[in-house]
């Protein structure tokens, strides 16, 4: 099948969520480039977001059944790239060797983010970030909303265009 990219849409804090519309635009860009888009989820709220994102992207996007952490790790290991916020599954993708674009808002990317040549950490330069907050003091989540789709697409393209390591899910 086509190479896969995971869009990790959930987070434990509402302040760490990248907007649904941004994930949709990124997913549509990936689908247009021939990638299959996988939208994993962990709880009911993430499932609602995953379904909303996948349905807007269209037939290239799949919402897998919820699995164990081991199954999630195995799924992420088959992906050419994972894009997500500061959340467990993004760190799992990094741990299994999948290139990642990680998106930081309330916490500093330099402290929490994956390091290395196959990882990109994005943080919008807004005055109130990092706030470490589980609640947004301005209530508009400006730090995550300010990470543009264009910036994420550029980071994703950079990683996808560099010579990929063979992934277990790729067809020869």
* pLDDT at 135 exceeding the cut of 80: no
Please name the residue that has the structure tokens 């941004």: 22
* pLDDT at 132 exceeding the cut of 70: no
CA angle 117–23–53, rounded 5-degree value: 135
Question: Which 3 state secondary structure label does DSSP give 153?
Answer: helix
Superfamily of domain 4-161: Glycogen Phosphorylase B; (3.40.50.2000)
Question: What residues pair up with 84 in beta bridges, in sequence order?
Answer: 8, 102
pLDDT, residue 168, reads 57
Residue 60 CA from chain centroid, whole number: 16
**Residue 128: which of 141, 115, 118 has the closest Cα?**
141
pLDDT, tens digit (0-9, with 9 covering 90-100), for 81-131: 999 988 889 989 999 999 999 888 767 666 655 667 788 888 877 776 666
DSSP at 122: E
Per domain, the residue ranges of the chain are: 4-161
Helix/strand/coil percentages in the chain, nearest 5? 40, 15, 45
Please give the share of the chain, as a percent, with pLDDT higher than 70.
Answer: 77
**Residue 155: which of 67, 56, 84 has the closest Cα?**
84
* pLDDT at 163 exceeding the cut of 60: no
pLDDT, residue 133, reads 67
Question: What average pLDDT does the segment 55-74 reach?
Answer: 95
Kindly state the tokens that stand for 39: 């939208």
């Amino acid at each position: 099948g086509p190479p896969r990219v995971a869009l990790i849409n959930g987070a434990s804090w509402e302040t760490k969520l990248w907007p649904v519309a941004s994930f949709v635009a990124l997913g549509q860009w990936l689908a247009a480039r021939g990638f299959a888009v996988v939208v994993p989820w962990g709880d009911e709220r993430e499932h609602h977001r995953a379904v909303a994102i996948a349905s807007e992207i269209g037939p290239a996007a799949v919402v897998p059944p919820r699995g164990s952490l081991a199954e999630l790790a195995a799924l992420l290991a088959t992906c050419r790239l994972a894009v997500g916020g500061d959340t467990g599954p993004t760190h799992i993708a990094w741990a299994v060797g999948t290139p990642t674009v990680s998106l930081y808002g309330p916490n500093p990317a330099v402290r929490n983010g994956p390091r290395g040549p196959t990882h990109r950490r994005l943080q919008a330069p807004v005055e109130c970030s990092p706030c470490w907050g589980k609640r947004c003091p301005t209530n508009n989540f400006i730090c995550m909303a300010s990470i543009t789709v264009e910036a994420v697409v550029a980071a994703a393209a950079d990683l996808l265009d560099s010579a990929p390591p063979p992934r277990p899910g790729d067809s020869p």
